[in-house]
Structure 1
Amino acid sequence: MRRVHTLSILFLSSLIIPTFASPRGSRDVQSPLAMGSPAVGDHPVSGGVQRYEGEKVWRVRLGDHDMARRGAVMEVFETSGMDIWHVTSTTIDVRLDSSTTPNDLLHTYLHPATTFEPFINDLQSLVDSTSNNNDENDTPTSSSSSSSSSSSSLMKSKNGKNKQDPFNLTTIDTPFHDTYHPVQDLYKFGDKLVETFDGIKGIEVESFEIGKTWEGRKIKGWSAKMVKDETIKTKLADGPSRRKGGIADGVEREFVVQSGQHGREWVGPSSAFYFVHSLILNALSDPSSDAALLLQSFTFTVVPLLNPDGYTYSREHSRMWRKNRQEVGSKSCVGIDLNSNWGYKWRYPKSVSACSDSYPGKESFEAYETQAMAYYLGNGTERGTKVRAFVDLHSYGQLFMFPFAHSCEDFPIDAEMLMEAGLGVAKAMRTKQGEGYEAGQACDLTYRAPGDAIDFAYGVTDIRWSYSAELRDTGTYGFMLPPSLIRPTADEITAGLMYLAKFIYVAEIAD
Structure 2
Amino acid sequence: MLLRRCILLAALIYLDLVSAATIQKRGSLIPVPTPATPRTWKDRVRAVFFGRSEQPLQKKKEQTNRRHNPLSHYVHDIVLRFNISGPSEAAAMSDAINTLYLDVWSATSSHVDIRMPRGTVPLLLDVLPESMRNAHAPLVQSLADAALETYPGGVESPLPHAPQAMLQPTTGERSDILFFQDYQPLNVIVAWMKLLESLFPSHVELLTIGQSFEGRKIHALKVGREKSSGKKKKAIVITGAAHAREWISVSTVCYLAYAMITGFSRDDKGIDTMVKEFDWIFLPTLNVDGYVYTWEQDRLWRKNRQPTSLAFCKGIDLDRAYNYHFDAPSVSSYNPCSDMFPGGYPFQAQESREFANWADSLIKNGTKIVSLLDMHSYSQEILYPYSYSCEAHPPDLENLEELAMGLAKAIRIQSGEHYEVTSACEGTGFAGLPGTTGGGSMLDYFYAKMKVHYPFQIKLRDTGSHGFLLPKENIVPTGAEMFNLLKYLSQFLLDDGSPTAVIKPSDEL
The TM-score, its normalising length taken from structure 1, stands at: 0.78
Task: Please give the alpha-carbon distance, in whole angstroms, between the structure 1 residues aligned to 2:486 and 2:52.
Answer: 36
Moved more, 37-46 or 411-420: 37-46
**CA separation of 1:403/1:303 partners in 2, compared to 1, >3 Å: closer, same or farther?**
same
Q: Which structure shows the higher helix fraction?
A: 2
Quick one: which amino acid aligns to residue 119 of structure 2? S
Name the counterpart of 1:108.
127
Task: Please give the alpha-carbon distance, in whole angstroms, between the structure 1 residues aligned to 2:400 and 2:142.
Answer: 40
Equivalent residues of 2:379, 2:464 under 8 A apart: yes
**CA separation of 1:366/1:42 partners in 2, compared to 1, >3 Å: closer, same or farther?**
closer
Equivalent residues of 2:159, 2:166 under 8 A apart: no
| 2:412 equivalent to 1:423 | no
Quick one: which amino acid aligns to residue 300 of structure 2? M
Task: Please give the alpha-carbon distance, in whole angstroms, between the structure 2 residues aligned to 1:48 and 1:182.
Answer: 16
Q: Residues 35-89 of structure 1, C-alpha deviation per residue, up to 9 Å, x if partnerless?
A: 999544899889622331221111111012347x56x854652464210111223
Structure 2: 5+ residue stretches without partners: 1-42, 60-65, 432-436, 500-509
Equivalent residues of 1:402, 1:467 under 8 A apart: yes
Name the counterpart of 1:463.
452
Cα deviation, residue 456, structure 1: 0.6
Equivalent residues of 2:383, 2:424 under 8 A apart: yes
* Helix, strand or coil at the partner of 1:379: helix
Equivalent residues of 1:171, 1:281 under 8 A apart: no
Q: How does 1:364-383 map to 2 (within 5 A)?
A: 364-383=346-365
Equivalent residues of 1:396, 1:475 under 8 A apart: yes
| 2:367 equivalent to 1:354 | no
Choose from 396, 402, 407 the match for 2:389. 407
| 2:140 equivalent to 1:120 | yes
Quick one: which amino acid aligns to residue 216 of structure 1? G
* Helix, strand or coil at the partner of 2:79: strand
Name the counterpart of 1:275.
256
- After TM superposition, the runs of 4+ consecutive aligned structure 1 residues lying more than 6 A away are 33-37, 41-46
Quick one: which amino acid aligns to residue 270 of structure 2? D
**CA separation of 1:220/1:457 partners in 2, compared to 1, >3 Å: closer, same or farther?**
same
Quick one: which amino acid aligns to residue 127 of structure 1? A
Q: How does 1:122-141 map to 2 (within 5 A)?
A: 122-133=142-153, 139-141=157-159
Choose from 466, 477, 485 the match for 1:496. 485
* Helix, strand or coil at the partner of 2:339: coil
Q: Residues 427-473 of structure 1, C-alpha deviation per residue, up to 9 Å, x if partnerless?
A: 11122122211111111122252111101110111101000001011
Equivalent residues of 1:397, 1:474 under 8 A apart: yes
Cα deviation, residue 104, structure 1: 3.7
Q: Residues 154-189 of structure 1, C-alpha deviation per residue, up to 9 Å, x if partnerless?
A: 99xxxxxxx8589x9x96642101211111111111
Choose from 77, 82, 100 the match for 1:60. 82
Choose from 290, 297, 302 the match for 2:282. 302
Name the counterpart of 1:145.
none
Quick one: which amino acid aligns to residue 211 of structure 2? K
Task: Please give the alpha-carbon distance, in whole angstroms, between the structure 1 residues aligned to 2:492 and 2:238.
Answer: 16
Cα deviation, residue 480, structure 1: 1.0
Task: Please give the alpha-carbon distance, in whole angstroms, between the structure 2 residues aligned to 1:59 and 1:460.
Answer: 36
* Helix, strand or coil at the partner of 2:337: coil
Cα deviation, residue 500, structure 1: 1.6
Cα deviation, residue 379, structure 1: 2.6
Count of aligned pairs between the two proteins = 436
**CA separation of 1:328/1:504 partners in 2, compared to 1, >3 Å: closer, same or farther?**
same
Q: Percent identity?
A: 29
* Helix, strand or coil at the partner of 2:496: helix
Name the counterpart of 1:17.
none
Task: Please give the alpha-carbon distance, in whole angstroms, between the structure 1 residues aligned to 2:98 and 2:319.
Answer: 15
Task: Please give the alpha-carbon distance, in whole angstroms, between the structure 2 residues aligned to 1:278 and 1:42.
Answer: 38
Choose from 262, 265, 279 the match for 2:243. 262
Equivalent residues of 2:243, 2:318 under 8 A apart: yes
* Helix, strand or coil at the partner of 1:445: coil
| 2:162 equivalent to 1:149 | yes
Task: Please give the alpha-carbon distance, in whole angstroms, between the structure 2 residues aligned to 1:305 and 1:254.
Answer: 19
Task: Please give the alpha-carbon distance, in whole angstroms, between the structure 2 residues aligned to 1:113 and 1:467.
Answer: 34
Equivalent residues of 2:380, 2:462 under 8 A apart: yes
Name the counterpart of 2:118.
98
Question: Structure with the greater relative contact order (CA < 8 A, sep ≥ 6): 1 or 2?
Answer: 1
**CA separation of 1:375/1:344 partners in 2, compared to 1, >3 Å: closer, same or farther?**
same
Cα deviation, residue 299, structure 1: 0.4
Name the counterpart of 1:23.
none
| 2:214 equivalent to 1:215 | yes
Equivalent residues of 1:404, 1:454 under 8 A apart: yes
Equivalent residues of 2:79, 2:114 under 8 A apart: yes
Q: Residues 117-157 of structure 1, C-alpha deviation per residue, up to 9 Å, x if partnerless?
A: 1111111121123322359xx95258xxxxx733x6499xx
Quick one: which amino acid aligns to residue 479 of structure 2? A
Equivalent residues of 1:330, 1:354 under 8 A apart: yes
Equivalent residues of 1:154, 1:165 under 8 A apart: no
Task: Please give the alpha-carbon distance, in whole angstroms, between the structure 1 residues aligned to 2:485 and 2:108.
Answer: 22
Equivalent residues of 1:210, 1:221 under 8 A apart: yes
Cα deviation, residue 396, structure 1: 0.6
* Helix, strand or coil at the partner of 1:443: coil
Equivalent residues of 2:169, 2:175 under 8 A apart: no
Name the counterpart of 1:191.
194
Name the counterpart of 2:31.
none
Cα deviation, residue 198, structure 1: 1.5
Task: Please give the alpha-carbon distance, in whole angstroms, between the structure 1 residues aligned to 2:99 and 2:278.
Answer: 44
Equivalent residues of 2:67, 2:296 under 8 A apart: no
**CA separation of 1:42/1:339 partners in 2, compared to 1, >3 Å: closer, same or farther?**
closer
Quick one: which amino acid aligns to residue 184 of structure 1? N
